[in-house]
Copies of this chain bind each other. A is one copy, B any other.
């Protein structure tokens, strides 16, 4: 068994899976003994990328069964393995805000860029390590996924050059066409139950005493998702979440609506300067949870 596990956050998305695979490969090339694993099955978008580049899904874990771990695409305990406190975090690659505490010096490579895949592309380049074509394809997919094809406000000047270089290595002649297919693969929500919808990409955040949970789905038709409002609300109630904001994002028009269940309605309205109507709030121009949902909520709460 590998000495060190490399994994991303719970409810893995494409950036988390691609980054775990790429970081593990990079570290192994540098003489370490690591295995990329995941805290869940790939979602439909990630599965599309894995199929396209013929990469097997990662082994799924809920606890780390090694003494040392590497975190990618997350650093907060709530998004990590259940026994994080019992293992040593040796290394972190991340592009999120931080809430990380440990007891020994470690490696951290954090940059406020569009995806961890972008960070890893430059790490490979700097270390002069060749990126295998299939890993380049997954990293390109991750950049497309996290930046919504370079259209999200989280996109930085580092992401496009990385995506172009990775697409070339992966043999993707038209990354924009591939990217649209990839994003659409993630928007087929019809086969997912209401519980799967709210759990799919949800992350927990501690904000001003509130245990906030924020989910997000990408779609090409917000109204189609909202036609399932009653079922979604019932699923949220059934899971017992106190504060749940479900962000429904139109990836073609770069807009969102939020479905909110909880006791902080006035804070939600103030954070986004919009009114809730039947638990639904307009989030015009919002596509990024990290950049456009979490910060205003944190400021408000």
* A95 cross-chain contacts in B, Cβ below 8 A: 105
Q: Which one, B96, B105, B126, contacts A112 given CB within 8 A?
A: B105
Q: Is the CB of A102 within 8 A of B97?
A: yes
Q: CA A298 – CA B104 in complex, angstroms? A: 10
Partner of A103, one of B104, B126, B298: B298
A104 touches B97 (CB 8 A): yes
Report A87-134 residues with CB < 8 Å from chain B CB.
Answer: 95-112, 126
Quick check: is A284 within 8 A (CB to CB) of the other chain? no
B106 touches A98 (CB 8 A): yes
- Docked pose: A127 CA to B33 CA in angstroms: 29
Q: A295 on the interface (CB 8 Å rule)?
A: yes
A67 adjacent to chain B (CB < 8 Å): no
CB pair B97 A295 closer than 8 Å? no
Residues of the B chain whose Cβ atoms lie less than 8 Å from the Cβ of A295: 103-104
Q: How many copies does the complex hold?
A: 2
Task: Give the contacting residue for A126; candidates B104, B109, B126, B298; CB below 8 A.
Answer: B126
Q: Which residues of B contact A298 (CB under 8 A)?
A: 103
Residue A290 at the chain B interface, CB threshold 8 Å: yes
Question: Are B105 and A96 closer than 8 Å at their CB atoms?
Answer: yes
Asked if A110 and B106 make an inter-chain contact with CB atoms under 8 angstroms apart, the answer reads: yes
Chain B min CB distance to A149 (Å): 20
Q: Once the chains are docked, how many angstroms separate the CA of A294 from the CA of B299?
A: 34
Are B112 and A290 within 8 A (Cβ)?
no
A 124-148 contacts with B by CB, 8 A: 126
Contacts of A97 in B (CB 8 A): 102-106
Give the CA-CA distance A110 to B71 in the complex, in Å.
14
Expressed in whole angstroms, the minimum distance between the Cβ of A299 and any Cβ of chain B is 8
User: Could you name 17 residue pairs across A and B whose Cβ atoms are closer than 8 Å?
Assistant: A97-B102, A97-B103, A97-B104, A97-B106, A98-B98, A98-B100, A98-B102, A98-B108, A99-B101, A99-B102, A103-B295, A103-B298, A105-B290, A107-B110, A107-B111, A107-B112, A108-B110
> Which residues from chain A sit less than 8 Å from chain B, CB to CB?
95-112, 126, 290-291, 294-295, 298-299
